[in-house]
Amino acid sequence: MSFSDLVGRLEADDALPLYLQLQRVLRSAIQGRVLQHDAAIPAERDLAEEYAVSRITVRKALSGLVDEGLLSRHRGAGTFVTSRVEKSFSRLSSFSEDMVSRGRRPHSVWINRSLGAVTPEEALSLGLSPGAAVYRFHRIRYADDAPMALEYATIPAYCLPSIEAVGDSLYEALAQSGYRPVRALQRLRAIALTKAQADSLGVAARDAGLLIERRGFLPDGRAAEFSQSYYRGDAYDVVAELSSGQ
The residue out of 21, 56, 81 marking a domain boundary is 81
The predicted structure's pLDDT at residue 236: 75
* Of residues 214, 178, 176, the one with CA closest to residue 87: 214
The predicted structure's pLDDT at residue 58: 93
Tell me: do 140 and 59 sit in the same domain.
Answer: no
Q: What is the pLDDT of residues 119-128, one digit of tens each?
A: 999 999 999 9
Tell me: do 154 and 38 sit in the same domain.
Answer: no
* Domain that includes residue 50, residue range: 3-81
Q: What is the pLDDT of residues 176-205, one digit of tens each?
A: 999 999 999 999 999 999 999 999 999 999
Q: Is the pTM of this model over 0.85?
A: no
| Whole-number CA gyration radius for the chain | 21
Give the CATH number of the domain where residue 41 resides: 1.10.10.10
Q: What is the pLDDT of residues 88-118, one digit of tens each?
A: 666 788 888 888 777 778 889 999 999 999 9
**How far is Cα 227 from Cα 118, in angstroms, rounded to an integer?**
14
Tell me: do 170 and 89 sit in the same domain.
Answer: yes
Burial class (CB in 10 A: 0-12, 13-18, 19+), 91: exposed
Give mean pLDDT, residues 13-32.
86
Give the CATH number of the domain where residue 111 resides: 3.40.1410.10
Q: What is the pLDDT of residues 36-91, one digit of tens each?
A: 877 899 999 999 999 999 999 999 999 888 877 788 888 888 898 876 666 666 67
Q: Identify the helix (H) or strand (E) that includes residue 151.
A: strand 146-156
The predicted structure's pLDDT at residue 176: 95
110-122 in b/e form (b: 16+ CB < 10 A) is: eeeeeeeebeeeb
The predicted structure's pLDDT at residue 214: 95
Is residue 240 over pLDDT 80? no
